Structure 1
Amino acid sequence: MDGHHDFIILIDALRHDYLTPEGTPYLYSLKQQGVHATVTETYAFQTRPAFFAGLEPDESQVCTLYEYNVHDSPFAFLRPYESFLSVIDSLSLDRYFRGVIRRIAKRHAKKLGHHAAADVMGTEQIPLSLLSFFALSEKVYTDDTDAFAPNLTFFDLLRQKNKTWAWIGYPRHFGSSESILNAYYDAEHADVVYLHFSELDWIGHQYGPDSRERREALTKIDQAVKSLLVPSLKAGKRAVIFGDHGMVNVEYQLNLEKVLKKLPLKVPGDYLYFLDSTQARFWFSSFSAERVVRQALEGVKGGHILGDKERRELHIDFKHRKYGDLFFAVDGPGIIHPSFFSRNGDGPKGMHGYLPHVKDNMTQVIVAGEGVSCEERGTLRMVKICNLLKEFLLL
């Protein structure tokens, strides 16, 4: 592929303050010369609907990675074996079963037409006995026709203008910056190219946002972006570069599982729960079960139950139960550990997915290229990135 096209570049976990003249000279210079802003992450782990369609979670109906969905669960085939799987969970033998379960679930998702879900299918560290209650929330590709109809995505608008694009990144493509670059050079020409550099996120979780490993990884990404953009911008093209969230240094842990195991309630008979890294979600079979869980959570320091007003402000006040009857949010900068994504060891050193007041959860956006001059636009909600894509790339 030649360099004569516009770029959309997502640098996963690009924190608001990461760019420096020493560590990232190219990206830093683009920021000084172009339109730039700090960005507040949407309170959802799945943020593609925000920056590609300008939709909040209550508009796109996409929020966390997993939703409560017994009807369309790719793990529904496990339901007759829940008692057996409970024993497997209790004996910590689940690792011997996860691979085959994932492969079967992947085939089920494809049969349902849920190709985006199939691409990223996993079991994480969800107890095997609970898998059949859940499904992945993103089932179609963001750039599919009418993916969020009647709302138009940026790709729907490109389609209307008969413009082509290349999507090189999650969920279709996993891998290092090198593999992203190789896929780019092997791709056919397109008017707009979307690239997703993801390893900064993995490294931030494992080593922490202030680590040497994180700084070295971002320097390599800076060099990769420079190799792509220099010929493109010289040819009069434009680029929009942004992160999907920041990365917070973890300072404390909440063991909610320990709290929940002490309750005089049965799972899943009385209630069901999902432990994300920075929030816990609950579904109840009765008001009495909800009362017991609420009382227990109110005694947990370092987090709080989201009230109706707060859920409306965060755009997670859904009219259905897919994402939970009750949300418990970590106040920050802590994590829930163990969670359904990390059960063993000391837990992640860096995390994202916090409430808007947690500053280091914020990311940034930069627009550079032909006709773009320096302009600082303050702090934007993530849904406003879509407006920038329309403003600068839909010519």
Structure 2
Amino acid sequence: MTWNNKFSADAGSIDASEIRELLKILADPEILSFAGGIPDPELFPMDQVRAFRERMAQHPEQDRQLMQYSQTEGYEPLRSWVARTTSSEHISVLKENVLITNGAQQSLTLLAAALIDAGTPIGVANPTYLGALQVFGARRPVFHTIETDLDGLTIEGVEKAFKAGVKFLYTVPDFQNPGGMTIPEDRREKIIELAHKYDVVILEDTAYRALYYDCPPPPSLLELEGKFLGKDNWNDKGLVVQLGTASKTLMPALRVGWSVAPTAMLEKLILLKQANDLHTSTVNQTLAYELANNILDSHLETLRTVYGERCKAMIEALRQYLPNSVTFTPVKGGMFVWLKLPEGMNARKLLEKALAEEKIAFVPGAAFHANGGGDNTLRLSFSTCSPHIIHDGMKRLADLIRREL
């Protein structure tokens, strides 16, 4: 008996995540990992989590209610917080525009179900977030890859994809995973203009937006669309759907994310979530709200200081040690630095030698390319290593690259 002929076409289209498979190798404590794009657990606000649990234990009736079923849309105070922090002078977002999800990954899953049929043309950056490619790929679309430069998506590439009839564009405009690029404001404005000219939905993933180490990123695509349409017109005429998450700023295990969308889209996402899992954990939503409403600003300052030092250490070490034939993105936020090796050098083969000879791990870049390519690229993460470890690791990586050259 074989299961291979039992699976649906969607299930058969899913491949194993290269990063998830790599993380199994990283269980070896001798491996120095620059692979996983994860927050440092040492920075989790555990004192506040314990205080929340103690408060709940003193109110047993309320504590029990947090373990009950709740509404699909999400915990109302948390939805209001998202709406409040998303609104600006250019856009008015209401809690009715917010759906709480099990991380931003579920937002991607629901949006894929709402927008993609087999053969649907969609636009993605080249490279782009691997988790999005997995979700979208399970629906069997036709990927139109859009080239990037040090400022992210190129306008020529975006317009070419829009002219080709893509249904939506997925983008991480701030400190992109994996490339680290940030799209400048003038390009963002042009992307909004083109979206309305060609009637293309934009999925804006803001997972890393708050993690800036120099200055804040430009206004979000959602905010700029509000400016383009008029503050109160977005809900009726908007094409931007924004995804957010607490995973990078608070804790991944909360599994709390959100979608901000015009009402017509949000209503469909609510129905899809009802069919998917009914609702996100009530106790986790409540904890996320308490943390976000009370300590997030000060916590973000800590994250920006610590991650900023690590980011600076990686950039300085790469500048010091890498041969001139290797280029990288000079990032100012997020968690990643993107390397481009000389043509002909294969990052997967380099990883094998890095693990065997230097006990160092990174993520080969080919997995982030929807239509192939990128064999000579790789992603490094600085979020979980101290500056002196980063410095040592980058020297060893550079020495390995030199030996390969």
TM-score w.r.t. the length of structure 1 is 0.32
TM-score w.r.t. the length of structure 2 is 0.31
**Relative contact order, CA 8 A, sep 6+: which one is greater?**
1
More helix by share: 2
More strand by share: 1
